[in-house]
C-alpha cells in the first residue's frame, strides 16, 4: 500500500497503476519498492532524512519475502511548495504488520469550501498538535514558520526536531525519536497566554481500541496478534475518543479516494495551559509483550518488554534500554 500523504490516492486500482508507472523512471531501487521486491534492486538504507523538505522516513527492512510486514514510519515538518500541501507539519504516520496504524486521513476532493475538504487539508486531520481547535494557512508566505531544526541517524535510533510557529504567540517544538517498533514523541510548547492544546492521533479503519484511560490506550493491531499501546508519560491530559458520525463530529474521518468518506477513531488529548510538555510513548508489542527496537540489519536484535519503558518525571528522562533525556534531546547508551 502506498502511504497516503496529502493528496495521495490510496484506491487499489489507482495504486496499481501508480506502481506500474514508477517502474518507468529507470531507477532500480524505486522499481524494487514499487513492486515489493519482485523487480529491481533492494535499497541499502533503511532510513532517509530530507532536511530541505522536512521528512524523516524509516523502514524496518526491504526483504521481499515479508515486504508488507515491515514497520514503516514517517515524520514531517516543512515544505518548499504549497502544491498539494496540507496543514500537516509535525505530523507522523505509522504502519506495521500489513496495516496502517496512525494515518494521514486523506484529501476527499478539490472543492474549496466543502466541509470535508476543509477538514482533510486542516491540521485537525493529522497526527500533530493544534491550538484552540484551529488550523492554519499553509501558504508560501508561511513556509519559513515550520521545518526541521535538528536531525540525526544513529545505530539505535533516528531523531528529528521539528518546529511549528504557525500559531501566533505559540512556539511548538516536536522531538521525534524512532526505534522501529517504539516511537517517543516529546512536544515542548511555549506561549504568551493560556491556550487549549490538543494532541491528535488518527487510527486507521483496522485498529480496534481495547481499553482507554487518560494515561494509556491499548489498541488491537487488526488480526495480527500484536497490540499498539499509547502512553502519556509526562503531563496527564484529558482524553477524548472521537468516532466520526457524518453529522456533528469534527474528527474521525478518512478518505481513501476521490469523494470517498469513511469513519475512524481519533484520539484527542487536551491540556489547557500556556507552557506544557507532552511526552508520548507508542509501542508495537507482540503476544509476549516484547517491543522490537532495532532494524533487521542491526548487528544485534534488541527486544524490550513493554513494561520496562520507565519515565523519570523529575529528570525528564525515559529509560528504555537506551536513555532519553527529553529536554536535552539526547539519546545515549
**What is the tens place of the pLDDT at every residue in 277-301?**
999 999 999 999 999 999 988 888 9
CATH number at residue 317: 2.70.98.70
pLDDT in the model for residue 96: 97
**What is the tens place of the pLDDT at every residue in 45-64?**
999 999 999 999 999 999 99
Q: Confidence class of residue 179 from pLDDT cuts 50, 70 and 90? A: very high
pLDDT in the model for residue 326: 43
pLDDT in the model for residue 212: 98
Tell me whether residue 117 is in a domain: yes
**Per-position DSSP letters for 101-135, written without gaps between them:** EE---B---S-TT-HHHHHHHSGGGSSSEEETTB-
pLDDT in the model for residue 82: 65
Tell me whether residue 5 is in a domain: no
Decide if 148 contacts 160 (C-beta within 8 A). yes
For the chain, percent of residues with pLDDT exceeding 90: 63
Residue range 96-117: average pLDDT?
Answer: 86
Q: How far apart are CA 181 and CA 72, in angstroms?
A: 9
Q: How many CA atoms lie within 13 A of 175 on its CB side?
A: 19
The β-bridge partners of 253 are: 263
- Say whether 271 sits in a helix, a strand or coil: strand
What does the DSSP 8-state code read for residue 177? E
pLDDT in the model for residue 86: 84
pLDDT in the model for residue 16: 55
Residue range 33-52: average pLDDT?
Answer: 92
Centre a 10 Å sphere on the Cβ of residue 279 and count the other Cβ atoms it contains: 21
pLDDT at 309 exceeding the cut of 60: yes
Decide if 304 contacts 320 (C-beta within 8 A). yes
Which H or E run includes 31?
helix 28-34
Decide if 319 contacts 325 (C-beta within 8 A). no
Q: How far apart are CA 187 and CA 302, in angstroms?
A: 26
Tell me whether residue 64 is in a domain: yes
Decide if 122 contacts 253 (C-beta within 8 A). no
Tell me whether residue 323 is in a domain: yes
Tell me whether residue 108 is in a domain: yes
Question: Going by DSSP bridges, is the β-strand pair 310-312/303-305 parallel, antiparallel, or unpaired?
Answer: unpaired
pLDDT at 325 exceeding the cut of 70: no
Mean pLDDT for all residues in the chain:
87
Tell me whether residue 3 is in a domain: no
pLDDT in the model for residue 155: 66
Tell me whether residue 42 is in a domain: yes
Q: Confidence class of residue 154 from pLDDT cuts 50, 70 and 90? A: confident
Phi-psi category of residue 264: left, alpha or beta, with phi > 0 → left and psi -120 to 50 → alpha: beta
Q: What share of the chain is helix, strand, coil (3-state, %, to 5)?
A: 15, 40, 45
Residue range 152-160: average pLDDT?
Answer: 86
* Alpha carbon of residue 103 to chain centroid: 7
Q: How far apart are CA 93 and CA 74, in angstroms?
A: 5
pLDDT at 312 exceeding the cut of 90: no
- The C-alpha angle with vertex 292 and arms to 97 and 317, in degrees rounded to 5, equals 125
What does the DSSP 8-state code read for residue 190? E
Among 142, 144, 104, residue whose Cα is nearest residue 125 = 104
Range of the structural domain that residue 105 is part of: 12-332
For the chain, percent of residues with pLDDT exceeding 70: 88
Among 237, 231, 322, residue whose Cα is nearest residue 285 = 231
Tell me whether residue 2 is in a domain: no
And the C-alpha cell for 232? Answer: 502519556
- Say whether 7 sits in a helix, a strand or coil: coil
Q: Total structural domains in the chain?
A: 1
Q: How far apart are CA 180 and CA 284, in angstroms?
A: 9
Residue range 160-164: average pLDDT?
Answer: 97
Decide if 266 contacts 20 (C-beta within 8 A). no
Amino acid at each position: 500500500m502506498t502511504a497516503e500523504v496529502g493528496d495521495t490516492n490510496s484506491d487499489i486500482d489507482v495504486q496499481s497503476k501508480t506502481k506500474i508507472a514508477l517502474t518507468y523512471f529507470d531507477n532500480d531501487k524505486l522499481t524494487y519498492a514499487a513492486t515489493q521486491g519482485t523487480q529491481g534492486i533492494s535499497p541499502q538504507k533503511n532510513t532517509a532524512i530530507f532536511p530541505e523538505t522536512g521528512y524523516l522516513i524509516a523502514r524496518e527492512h526491504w526483504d521481499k519475502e515479508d515486504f508488507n510486514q515491515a514497520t514503516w514510519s514517517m515524520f514531517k515538518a516543512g515544505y518548499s511548495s504549497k502544491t498539494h500541501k496540507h496543514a500537516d507539519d509535525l505530523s507522523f504516520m505509522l504502519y506495521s504488520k500489513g496495516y496502517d496504524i496512525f494515518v494521514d486521513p486523506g484529501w476527499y476532493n478539490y472543492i474549496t469550501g466543502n466541509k470535508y475538504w476543509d477538514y482533510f487539508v486542516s491540521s485537525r486531520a493529522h497526527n500533530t498538535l493544534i491550538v484552540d481547535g484551529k488550523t492554519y494557512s499553509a501558504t508560501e508566505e508561511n513556509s519559513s514558520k515550520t521545518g526541521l531544526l535538528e536531525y540525526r541517524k544513529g545505530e539505535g535510533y533516528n531523531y528529528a526536531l521539528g518546529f511549528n510557529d504557525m500559531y501566533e504567540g505559540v512556539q511548538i517544538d516536536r522531538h521525534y525519536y524512532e526505534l522501529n517498533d517504539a516511537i517517543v514523541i516529546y512536544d515542548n510548547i511555549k506561549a504568551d497566554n493560556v491556550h487549549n492544546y490538543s494532541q491528535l492521533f488518527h487510527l486507521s479503519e483496522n485498529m480496534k481500541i481495547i481499553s482507554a484511560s487518560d494515561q494509556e490506550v491499548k489498541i488491537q493491531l487488526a488480526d495480527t496478534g500484536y497490540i499498539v499501546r499509547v502512553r502519556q508519560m509526562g503531563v496527564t491530559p484529558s482524553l477524548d475518543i472521537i468516532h466520526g458520525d457524518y453529522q456533528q463530529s469534527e474528527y474521525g474521518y478518512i478518505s481513501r479516494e476521490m469523494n470517498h468518506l469513511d469513519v475512524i477513531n481519533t484520539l484527542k488529548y487536551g491540556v489547557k495551559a500556556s507552557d506544557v510538555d507532552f511526552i508520548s510513548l507508542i509501542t508495537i508489542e507482540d503476544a509476549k509483550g516484547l517491543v522490537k527496537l532495532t532494524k533487521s540489519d542491526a548487528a544485534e536484535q534488541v527486544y524490550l518488554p513493554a513494561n520496562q519503558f520507565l519515565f523519570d518525571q523529575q529528570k525528564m528522562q525515559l529509560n528504555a534500554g537506551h536513555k532519553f533525556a527529553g529536554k536535552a534531546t539526547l539519546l545515549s547508551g
